[in-house]
Chain A
Amino acid sequence: AQSVTQPDIHITVSEGASLELRCNYSYGATPYLFWYVQSPGQGLQLLLKYFSGDTLVQGIKGFEAEFKRSQSSFNLRKPSVHWSDAAEYFCAVGYQKVTFGIGTKLQVIP
């Protein structure tokens, strides 16, 4: 069965600092991987996706993620966080049916 683990429930970073959100997955074949962001009171917005090819993928809002098959990881990164990045971030795996992690809530302090 496919599964996703986001080990950090809550992360606080200072504005301008770098960010890395962790995601580990379990999947029986080549995974389809996604990162979504959810602002309060909103639905999920796709940040980026990985299906194949280059293991470093670029997304919207300056985010990137790196697929590491040997570590079953798909961590999300941003070099410099802005206050508007405060939100909840969900990693997901699958294609016909997608399994989501429980999310990481990002707080940005001035």
Chain B
Amino acid sequence: EADIYQTPRYLVIGTGKKITLECSQTMGHDKMYWYQQDPGMELHLIHYSYGVNSTEKGDLSSESTVSRIRTEHFPLTLESARPSHTSQYLCASRAEGYYEQYFGPGTRLTVT
């Protein structure tokens, strides 16, 4: 069983608030990913990191930002939440040389 954690699991917040979604893994994986998941849609990659101090934007444009100061930690921040940010956010990681990704349980974000 993979050890990747996301907090909070559920968040309801008002428009304009700053939020940070936490993601941590204890497997020492270099590669980490953030996906956005909406019902009936494929997972969309919004950010990824191949190691400390390395971050890239994914295929889906997102107003969020990420940081990777420690190998195990990959937080996602929204400076000013909007209703259009309402979604499920999934964090994943994988080891160097292996291509299967391990997923956290997700954060379901609702912006009112």
Contacts and interface: CB of A to CB of B under 8 A. Distances in A.
Given A32-B99, A43-B90, A95-B99, A9 B105 contact: no
B105 A102 contact: no
Nearest to B1: A45
Interface residues of A, number: 24
Nearest to A102: B42
Interface in A26-54: 32, 34, 36, 41-46, 49, 51
A16 to B, nearest CB: 28
Contacts, number: 51
Chain B interface extent, by class: 20 to 34
A89 to B, nearest CB: 13
Contact of B40 (A32, A96, A102): A102
Interface of B: 4, 6, 9, 40-43, 45, 48, 58-59, 90, 92, 99-106, 108
Given A43-B106, A103-B40, 13 more contacts: A34-B100, A36-B103, A42-B106, A43-B4, A43-B104, A44-B43, A44-B92, A45-B103, A46-B102, A49-B100, A90-B43, A102-B40, A103-B42
